[in-house]
Amino acid sequence: MSVNFSLKGKIALVTGASYGIGFAIASGMAQAGATIVFNDIKQELVDKGLAAYKEAGIDAHGYVCDVTDEDAVNNLVATIEKEVGPIDILVNNAGIIKRIPMCEMTAAEFRQVIDVDLNAPFIVSKAVIPSMIKQGHGKIINICSMMSELGRETVSAYAAAKGGLKMLTRNICSEYGGYNIQCNGIGPGYIETPQTAPLREIQPDGSKHPFDQFIISKTPAARWLKPEELAGPAVFLASEASDAVNGHILYVDGGILAYIGKQPQ
């Protein structure tokens, strides 16, 4: 048996991948040989994504689709199967966060986060699993979080969703592992993307945001991570090299979960 990290001949759907982590993962998968399909919620984002993939030399297929809308997702999957081919790899990447103290958060706001970060991975996975079963193989990668394990002030809905996504990952593994479908998660640490930009804003006096300093002190690598650093782990989990890895959450966090934090000076 040879070790095979190649994604040649595979079709990968990465949700919400016009920019940020999804774009970096899709680009890594394209380098490994996969055909890239992505969606985003607005046409302008899809156009921005198509231009970015083109600039990177990647011939990606982009579609508008809200991943929380089950009919739209079913149409998207049917269209991809017709226009590109059956999906071998699904990355549930689209996600949102609302940073609001729990007692100030409305139930509608809480539900919106759960809808995008937990219900949507269920909807999209459910839409692709039947054809993965027919094909005799499939890879699903759910983008989890530090908040799949840890809590913090203001992110109750996000933590509840990402904790749930960890268990959805284990359940898809349990239910469909017998069909040669592997479902794993990636738990990114703190990554430099628009989603975390408010936590890194330079203060009016020119100093770093206190949260920025906090993350550096909690990370053995002593830095924020780049989206591109998630590409290698994602290619591994999408490739045959990881066929025996199932129901696992691979934390790509610069060591945050292993570390108690920098001792006060």
Residues that bind ligand GCO (CB under 6 A): 97, 99, 145-147, 152, 155, 158, 188-190, 195-196
| DSSP classification of residue 32 | T
Interface with ligand NAP, residue 185, by CB under 6 A:
no
**CB of 94 vs ligand GCO, minimal distance in Å:** 13
**CB of 31 vs ligand NAP, minimal distance in Å:** 18
Question: Does the CA dihedral 49-50-51-52 come out positive or negative?
Answer: positive
Residue 108: C-alpha distances to residues 16, 69, 95, 121, 169 (Å): 22, 17, 16, 19, 25
Rounded to an integer, what distance in angstroms lies between the CA atom of residue 13 and that of residue 73?
12
Rounded to an integer, what distance in angstroms lies between the CA atom of residue 47 and that of residue 41?
11
Binding to ligand NAP in span 145-164, by CB under 6 A: 145
Q: How many CB atoms lie within 10 A of CB 94?
A: 26
Interface with ligand NAP, residue 140, by CB under 6 A:
no
* Per-residue x/- track, 98-137, ligand NAP (CB under 6 A): ------------------x---------------------
**CB of 118 vs ligand NAP, minimal distance in Å:** 10
Interface with ligand NAP, residue 190, by CB under 6 A:
yes
Tabulate helix, strand, coil % of the chain (nearest 5). Answer: 50, 15, 35
CB closer to ligand GCO, 134 vs 152: 152
Both structure tokens of 82: 């017709």
Indicate which residue of 19, 53, 63, 158 is catalytic.
158
Closest CA to 60 of 31, 82, 86: 31
Rounded to an integer, what distance in angstroms lies between the CA atom of residue 169 and that of residue 140?
8
**CB of 71 vs ligand NAP, minimal distance in Å:** 14
Residues with active-site annotation: 158
Binding residues vs ligand NAP (CB under 6 A) = 15-16, 18-22, 39-42, 45, 66-68, 93-96, 116, 143, 145, 188, 190-191, 193-196
